[in-house]
Homo-oligomer: A and B are copies of this chain.
Amino acid sequence: MPMPKFFIAASNIFGGMAYIEGKDAEHLRVLRLKRGEKLIVCDGEGNDYECRLTSSGPEGAEAEIIRVIPSRSEPDVFAQVYAAFPKGDKAETIVQKSVELGASRIVFFRSERCVSRPDAAAIIKKLERWNKISEEAAKQCGRASIPEVGIEQSFETMLEHASQAQLGLFFWEEEHLRSMKKTLEAAGDGITSVSIVTGPEGGFEKHEADTAEKAGLIPVSLGKRILRCETAPLCALAALMYHTNNLE
């Protein structure tokens, strides 16, 4: 059995010790972990620590840090998924699968053909739920960090942020010349950050693609088949991780 893994706040790791509280401490007792047994503590920021349990009680548990484990589950490319608000529970699918596939951040935004137009109150609730899904997915797939899920206030701010990556890919079904592969190949080795921008059910408008290109993003194709709005970001992310040797 692999060592049990606990995500705790980075502020609870100091002086060679990790302090485990609340639900995690309870979970530790449920697992019947004894003093001297080993566990992994993860600060959710990319660092894993191999620890030995020194005490465990109703108030919490303490563990001594044996060594820092270099995280092998984090990809070496910082991939951000920018997805237009989809209908129904597709956003949840996008969050869960993007985390598994190695995204570092997932951001939703509104574009012209978005059918889903949640109001501010609904968005606050959704963000809470999406971040919870991200945390669960990160734990399940063994990631060392929990990708943040956020939203953009407008299409324009999305473009501004997405274009800050080394490579900003704007997936547009009417782009027939530039493919994702040719664009990645042209960028050469050592790609460190990529933004993947995908549209809603009905795709992007031409003027949105034009604006994106002016903002520094590259309109690219994902091939001849029309992918659903929740499939496109996952396909692009899998291809990116494959290209950058992060599926090895």
Contact = CB atoms under 8 A, between A and B. Distances in A.
Interface of A: 72-73, 97, 100-102, 140-143, 179-182, 221-228, 231, 234-235, 238-239, 241-243, 245-248
Chain copies in complex: 2
What 3 pairs between A and B have smallest CB-CB spacing? A238-B238, A239-B242, A223-B247
Given A73-B224, A181-B247, 18 more contacts: A73-B225, A97-B234, A100-B228, A100-B231, A101-B235, A140-B226, A141-B227, A142-B226, A180-B242, A181-B245, A234-B235, A234-B238, A235-B238, A239-B239, A239-B241, A239-B242, A239-B247, A242-B242
B235 A247 contact: yes
Contacts of A72: 224
A223 B238 contact: no
Contact of A231 (B97, B239, B242): B97
Contacts of A140: 226, 228
Nearest to A228: B100
Contact of A179 (B225, B239, B247): B247
A231 B115 CA distance: 26
Contacts of A141: 225-228
A173 to B, nearest CB: 10
Contacts of A228: 97, 100, 140-141
Nearest to A143: B225
Contacts of A223: 102, 241, 246-248
Nearest to A240: B242
A223 to B, nearest CB: 4
Contacts of A246: 223
A74 to B, nearest CB: 8
